[in-house]
Amino acid sequence: MSDNEHKKIELPINITVRELAAHIDASVIQIIKSLMSNGVMANINQQIDFDTAAIVAAEMGYEAVLEKQEAPEGKESGEVPLWRRMIAGEDESLLTPRPPVVTILGHVDHGKTSLLDVIRHANVAEGETGGITQHIGAYQVEHNGRTITFLDTPGHAAFTAMRARGAQGADIVVLVVAADDGVMPQTKEAIAHARAARVPILVALNKIDKANANPDMVKRQLGDNGLVPDEWDGQTIVVPVSAKQKLGIEDLLEAITLVADNTDIRANPKGRVIGTVIEAKLDKTKGVIATFLVQNGTLETGDLVVAGNAYGRLRALFDYRGHKVQKAGPSVPVSVMGLNDVPAAGDLFRVVHTEKEARQIILERNEAAQKQAAAPKKATLEELFANYQAGETRELRLILKADVQGSLEPIVNSLNELSKGDISVNILHAETGNISENDVMLASASKAIIVGFGVQADVSARRLADSEGVSIRLYEIIYRLTEDVEKALKGMLKPEFIEKLVGKAEILKIFVVSKVGKIAGCRVREGEIRRNCKVRLYRGKDILYEGEIASLKHEKEDEREIRQGFECGLGLKNFNDIQVGDVIVGYILEKKVE
């Protein structure tokens, strides 16, 4: 232990017992024993907070320090928003704190929109008098002299659709949960989407004014889903609110600023100008109007901007109140005019110097999009492991759907036990029910594959999976599911191939060639016989040979293929036991498309 007394390790805010054991090179049993001696009962897959993990690490001879949230270092590129990677080269001395950008997620009818409306009308920045004059998909509020930007696009589908395009507009997620209803399926999905994006989560416990509100029940459910309330020694801030009675709104804003203070939310106002398109539309009188969220640098009127496949020189900028402004800094949402086309929500924008540069960027993007559309790449088990071996990923991300809860739990436990050394299984979302479009969007954004047990994929989900390049694997037997994942983790999973018949030929005559052996004089009866195909030799119903073609000729000329109705001379590799009347069947192996 003395060797490790002063050894520092970085740990995240929350970590599972298994992950902690891997970090400090100890057995899981040692960790659980240490936790029990400190009064904490935890299983192998349970999450514990940083303070608890630090105590256990200290007993093992390690000094734990809190891992910086949002820091790109040490995480694979897929974990960090593209715009953050683009500003990774900014001078640290020029980075300054910027207002946090917040999005609201949660189950339908739990009050997401009502809460946004209350915050918008009760806490808009000073100077707003006549209510919101222009809806631009985002707005800012003031709290104790601090500015907070809210994305007015509640719903994890919109949140994930943006993330799937490489954007991540939100720095913090507020999860709205109704105190009278508790954690529902969409709540669990929202948690999965926020976790996959690695965004800090705080909970707004809404509808506390209702007579049947049961906050303790909801907190227990949140704890079961990995969001342990801070009052129960967890790391998740839970704020009781009532959108209807306008209660707890100031507390919620205070909690947002607290989370922001513990997260590295900075930008360089004088640096490279980049950001995200929140929404865009075509106005008959004004042309293209888009809402931009600036995330680094300062956007100014007259700037030449490329946004997705659109570009243009900005003629005018308007803030969320509809007031004309000349410039917008980091975390400021603005409505802009001047683009030549309508960009998509989630597209990244940046300022360029010349129109030639803008057109070149769009040309390259169009070419890349055409190639991707022509051959959509699925994240299959085989390819994910290949990426791991190339150093591009360190975990196998899965979304699991099962027919019943009784099937789900043993599958989750079995998969979690399969983590091997450097590569681990990360189950982003596990739920009962058929595979839906939401599952596909989460998989697309997270580069995960969907595994289903005893379920089907909705027609719309299959269609979306095809267009997004998401792999769906369905199983009816648990051990086949876990076996495939285990093989992928061990690098043993071989691609599945199916045979495709290409042709049949009948031997009409035998020729003996010195130094070569017997050559079959054949007529192709069906399809074609190819030089590079595999063949089987049938005598009646018996297969006498299975292998490759050594030679294929037509009238002494070497040929690559002989079609139906034509005759040929065919030699089999290392096989001479051929007779007139034998049938040669040619086939190829094609990789199975899921």
SS3 sequence of 543-556: EEEEEEEEEEEECC
475-527 residue pLDDT tens: 888 778 888 887 777 664 556 677 889 999 999 999 988 877 889 999 999 99
Confidence (pLDDT) at 155: 54
Residue 128 has pLDDT above 50, yes or no: no
79-93, 118-132, 137-151, 214-228: which range is least confident on average? 118-132
Fold of the domain spanning 83-267? Rossmann fold (3.40.50)
Q: Nearest-5° angle of CA 226, CA 228, CA 234?
A: 125
Confidence (pLDDT) at 82: 57
**Exposure of 204 in the CB half-sphere (CA atoms within 13 A):** 35
Confidence (pLDDT) at 373: 55
Average pLDDT (450-469) is: 84
105-124 residue pLDDT tens: 877 777 777 888 888 775 54
Strand residues in 185-253 grouped as ranges (E): 201-206, 238-240
Burial category of 470 from C-beta neighbours within 10 Å (exposed 0-12, middle 13-18, buried 19 and up): buried
Integer angstrom CA distances of residue 502 from 558, 563, 584, 588: 19, 10, 11, 7
Fold of the domain spanning 497-591? Elongation Factor Tu (Ef-tu); domain 3 (2.40.30)
Confidence (pLDDT) at 129: 37
CATH class of 274-374: mainly beta
Which residues share a beta bridge with 591?
497
Using DSSP, state whether 494 is helix, strand or coil.
Answer: coil
**Residue 76 gets which letter from DSSP?**
-
218-259 residue pLDDT tens: 888 888 888 888 888 778 889 998 888 888 888 999 999 988
131-135, 209-213, 486-490: which range is least confident on average? 131-135
26-66 residue pLDDT tens: 887 888 888 877 777 777 767 777 778 888 888 888 888 77
**Residue 145 gets which letter from DSSP?**
T
The structural domains of the chain, with segments of one domain joined by +, span 2-66, 83-267, 274-374, 381-490, 497-591
- The percentage of residues in the chain with a pLDDT greater than 70, rounded to a whole number, is 82
Higher pLDDT, 42 or 380: 42
Question: Model's pTM, two decimal places?
Answer: 0.56
304-325 residue pLDDT tens: 999 888 899 999 999 888 889 9
Q: Does this chain's domain 274-374 share its CATH topology with 497-591?
A: yes
**Is residue 475 a contact partner of residue 481, using CB atoms and an 8 Å limit?**
yes
Fold of the domain spanning 381-490? Rossmann fold (3.40.50)
Q: Which of 301, 292, 293 is nearest to 267 (CA)?
A: 293
Give start and end residues of each alpha helix (H) in 300-427. Answer: 355-374, 381-389, 405-416
Paired tokens of 407 = 């099937």
